[in-house]
Amino acid sequence: MGSCQSTSSDSAADRSRAIERHLKEDKDASKKEVKILLLGTGETGKSTVLKQMKLIHKIGFTPDEIANFRSALVLNLLSCAKELMNAMDKLKIPYGFDPTQVVSASRQITESSLDQWSTDPSNTSRTNSCDNESFDAPTIRRRTARFAEVASASSELFMSAGGSENRTGEVAAAAAIIRSMDPSMVLSGTTISSKLISSIKLLWRDPGVQYCVSRAAEYQLMDSCPYVMENIDRICCPDFTPTDPDILAARIMTTQIREIRFKVHAHLFCVYDLGGQRSERKKWMAFFDNVKAFIYMVAISSYDQTCFEDSQTNRITESLNLFHSLTHHPALKKTCIILFLNKIDLFKEKMKVSPLVEYFPEYKGLGDYESGALYFERTFRDENPFSERDIYTHFTWATDTSNISRVMENVTMALLRAACENLGLI
């Protein structure tokens, strides 16, 4: 009888010790788990960075994911073609329009009048302090005048030809073929016809369409449009299998939470990609518990673009307002913030043709990439209300694996160093 009681007591003690051991193991594992959120508005490159992490940490993609990327690339291609045709009507650009002819015919008159203004002693101070890539006042006026002149000439030709209802010619015929295409055929696995492929190629080569691309800030066009257009033959091939660069270029709107896990020095990193469109942000709060850091992504190249949702709000302004709400959120007060100022490749090119000061008058730089990038870095860092919390900033090019690999190595090391440990992160 007594031995039975002793055996029962021993079993209970063993179970108790096992429970305590498991609790301790769970607690230790929790301490070694680094939960990171990928946040930001739509079209900033969050999903691209998540795909880069999968490539960098050799996680790879499942056959179903690769099949989805293939379909997405074809849909991206067709969507870009239709968006370009719609924009041609919206901006009143005729097919075959060559902006260089307009500029060449009027450049002498335009530059002559503007040069008189720029040689006035009262207007030369900034000119003398800027290099050839700068947007000093005379340069801005000259480029703005040329832009307005070309846009006006385009509109006049468009209307004189009868507008969108009376388009004629080879490209207009190709556009009609593209418009008649049913996008659902991509999802059903139907092969893209050679006739449709030829029509899209003809559309893309048209000088008027290329001029329309140069005005992409006035409508919603995917950043990957040039990539999919230039790779149309591969993408539309029946046995096409996406390469890593193809996968990075594929655009799929995030409408569900995506997660990846990888280990770095015995620490388990759990990264969550949360949709950035306005309708998706209500899901964010559920992920704020126990978050060690969040990576906030800003597409600084979008400074002259409006939001997808309303076509009125400047994208950077929207991003800044959202960042303000996150940095001031009480649940994230002790959370490490990593700021990715993304799409620097597009930003560098855009700064040459689209003056930042026209969209952000408080910007006082010389109009070059360096001063523009630093302006946005300061602007976002100023939103941090807690002096004891630093913001780690990186300038990124999300589709460049070498850039993201280097940046992510710095990020993971920063999270494992004492700087973040002092904030109770690990």
Token pair belonging to 125: 């101070």
Token pair belonging to 164: 């969108």
Reduced to 3 states, what is the DSSP secondary structure of residue 370?
Answer: helix
pLDDT reading at 26 higher than 50: no
Sheet with 336-342, strands from edge to edge, namely 258-264, 267-273, 33-40, 293-299, 336-342, 391-395
- Unique residue bearing structure tokens 């919206």: 90
pLDDT reading at 111 higher than 50: no
According to the model, what pLDDT value does residue 121 have?
40
Q: Which of 296-300, 307-311, 388-392 has the highest mean pLDDT?
A: 296-300
The length of the chain in residues reads 426
Determine the residue type at 13: A
pLDDT reading at 129 higher than 60: no
Do the Cβ atoms of 355 and 308 come closer than 8 Å?
Answer: no
According to the model, what pLDDT value does residue 397 have?
96
* Of 146-150, 315-319, 363-367, the least confident: 146-150
Per-residue pLDDT tens digits for 399-412: 999 999 999 999 98
According to the model, what pLDDT value does residue 94 have?
96
According to the model, what pLDDT value does residue 134 have?
45
43 is in an annotated binding site: yes
pLDDT reading at 423 higher than 80: no
81 is in an annotated binding site: no
Do the Cβ atoms of 118 and 330 come closer than 8 Å?
Answer: no
Query: ∠165-169-170 over CA atoms, to 5°?
Result: 125
274 is in an annotated binding site: yes
The neighbour count for residue 417, using CB atoms within 10 Å, is 12
What's the start-to-end Cα distance of the chain, in Å? 51
pLDDT reading at 234 higher than 90: yes
Task: Give the span between the Cα atoms of 22 and 263, in whole angstroms.
Answer: 21
What domains, with CATH codes, occur in the chain?
A: 33-62+255-421 (3.40.50.300), 99-160 (no CATH)
44 is in an annotated binding site: yes
Token pair belonging to 289: 């518990």
Q: Where are the beta strands (DSSP E) in 274-335?
A: 293-299
pLDDT reading at 133 higher than 60: no
Task: Give the span between the Cα atoms of 157 and 346, in whole angstroms.
Answer: 31
pLDDT range class, residue 286, cuts 50, 70, 90 = confident
Per-residue pLDDT tens digits for 350-398: 999 899 999 999 999 999 999 999 999 999 999 999 888 889 999 999 9
319 is in an annotated binding site: no
Higher-pLDDT residue of 125, 181:
181
Mean pLDDT of 193-215: 97
362 is in an annotated binding site: no
Q: What percent of the chain has pLDDT over 70?
A: 80
Contacts of 53 (CB under 8 A, 6+ apart): 59, 260, 262, 271, 404, 408
pLDDT range class, residue 128, cuts 50, 70, 90 = very low
Q: Which of 97-111, 140-154, 205-219 has the highest mean pLDDT?
A: 205-219
Mean pLDDT of 201-207: 98
Where b means 16+ CB within 10 Å and e means fewer, 325-361 reads ebbeeeebeebbbbbbbbbbbebbebbeebbbbebbe
According to the model, what pLDDT value does residue 276 have?
80
Higher-pLDDT residue of 310, 200:
200
Higher-pLDDT residue of 181, 53:
53
Mean pLDDT of 136-156: 73
- Unique residue bearing structure tokens 């700068």: 134
According to the model, what pLDDT value does residue 170 have?
96
Token pair belonging to 409: 């190595």
46 is in an annotated binding site: yes
Nearest to 304 by CA among 295, 313, 292: 313
According to the model, what pLDDT value does residue 124 have?
37
What radius of gyration do the chain's Cα atoms show? 27
pLDDT reading at 135 higher than 60: no
Higher-pLDDT residue of 396, 189:
396
According to the model, what pLDDT value does residue 326 have?
95
Task: Give the span between the Cα atoms of 408 and 229, in whole angstroms.
Answer: 30
Give 177-245 as a DSSP string: HHHT--THHHHTTPPPPHHHHHHHHHHHH-HHHHHHHHTGGGS---TTHHHHHHTHHHHTSTT----HH
300 is in an annotated binding site: no
Computed over every residue of the chain, the mean pLDDT equals: 84
Q: Which residues does the annotation mark as catalytic? A: 43, 48, 251, 273, 277
Nearest to 272 by CA among 112, 44, 53: 53
pLDDT reading at 33 higher than 60: yes
Task: Give the span between the Cα atoms of 48 and 38, in whole angstroms.
Answer: 11
Do the Cβ atoms of 197 and 236 come closer than 8 Å?
Answer: yes
What distance separates the 2 farthest-apart alpha carbons in the chain? 113
CA distances from 180 to 83, 198, 240, 307 (A): 14, 14, 24, 28
